[in-house]
Structure 1
Amino acid sequence: MERRVRATGHENVSAEHASTFELTSDDWLTPAGDCILAVEADTVPADFDAEFVEACQSHEATITVTLRADGHEEAIEGRGHPDLSFENDRSMVGRTSDYVDDRTVMVGADKAAADLDREFVDALAAGADLECVLRAEE
């Protein structure tokens, strides 16, 4: 089961956070937002349908996030969790830890923002369009 999100890079994308990555629907980004990869996301967790959310609410679920921008592709694999609520109406966060809040869309991610290829990050900092594909499988 897949869902797509489109967003846009921003000049303040640094992707230096060691334990999370984030997409936000906000249209701005300060340098402090070192986990944020893109802004103006057209879909937020609260927009996901119940079927997709339910598929993610299992410890057995594998969640893969594929990020594409300017000819670059990054795949991040993590897992689901029963406490994933997909209720946030502003941003989605992938986490290397098991911490869950209303922004969390995956836990146990095998990459955070700091682990992403620097050419990919540079493309986002130059304002490249980002396609994010979330895939949930059991």
Structure 2
Amino acid sequence: MTTEDYLTPRGDCIIGIRADKGAAGLSEEIKRHIRLGDRLRLEIIVGELSFAFDAWGSPSLELSDARSAVIRRSSFASPRTIAVRSTAVARDIPRDIVSELRTGRRGVLAIYVL
């Protein structure tokens, strides 16, 4: 996700634009759990539709990027990374959710600590 209001052709793994925060804007409580390496449940909610998957935090995550938040299948860490070892990637998100987001419908990413 990005706070930017546009996508480039290379942005094929970005599921949301105009986000209200990047990695740095997460609550301090969530950041603490992420840095402890806790297991997370992430849920993308668009209207009545939702898709949930799991990922993990890591002590190596900086959570410092103000513009973007990235969930990765790998363990790669960057200032934008908010979770690693994800059980899903962008292409796994149901097409009906992606279609709704493409029309400009507002989506929410909920993060729960397991």
Could you state the TM-score of these two structures normalised by the residue count of structure 1? 0.77
Q: CA deviation at 1:85?
A: 1.4
Report percent identity of matched pairs. Answer: 27
Q: For residue 12 of structure 2, what is the amino acid of its counterpart?
A: D
CA distance in 2, matches of 1:68, 1:48: 17
**Root-mean-square deviation over aligned CA pairs:** 1.2
Say which of 2, 13, 19 aligns to 1:41: 19
How many pairs are equivalent?
Answer: 114
Structure 2 unaligned runs (5+)?
Answer: none
The question of 1:32 aligning with 2:10 is answered yes
**Residue identity in the other structure for 2:89:** A
The normalised TM-score by structure 2 is 0.92
Question: Is the 1:80–1:107 contact (alpha carbons within 8 Å) kept by the matching residues of 2?
Answer: yes
Aligned partner of residue 36 in structure 1, secondary structure: coil
Per the alignment, residue 14 of structure 1 pairs with none
Structure with the higher fraction of residues in strand conformation: 1
Structure 1 residue ranges (4+ consecutive) displaced by more than 3 angstroms after TM superposition: none
Does the 8 Å CA contact 1:24/1:91 hold for their aligned counterparts? yes
Partner of residue 17, structure 1: none
Structure 1 counterpart of 2:86: 109
Deviations 1:34-54 (A, max 9, x none): 011111111221122333212
Q: SS state of the match for residue 76, structure 1?
A: strand
Q: Give the 3-state SS of the residue equivalent to 2:69 in structure 1.
A: strand
Q: 1:79 to 1:126 in 2, by over 3 A?
A: same
State how far apart, in whole Å, the 2-side matches of 1:55 and 1:125 are.
Answer: 31
Higher relative contact order at CA 8 Å, sep ≥6: structure 1 or structure 2?
1
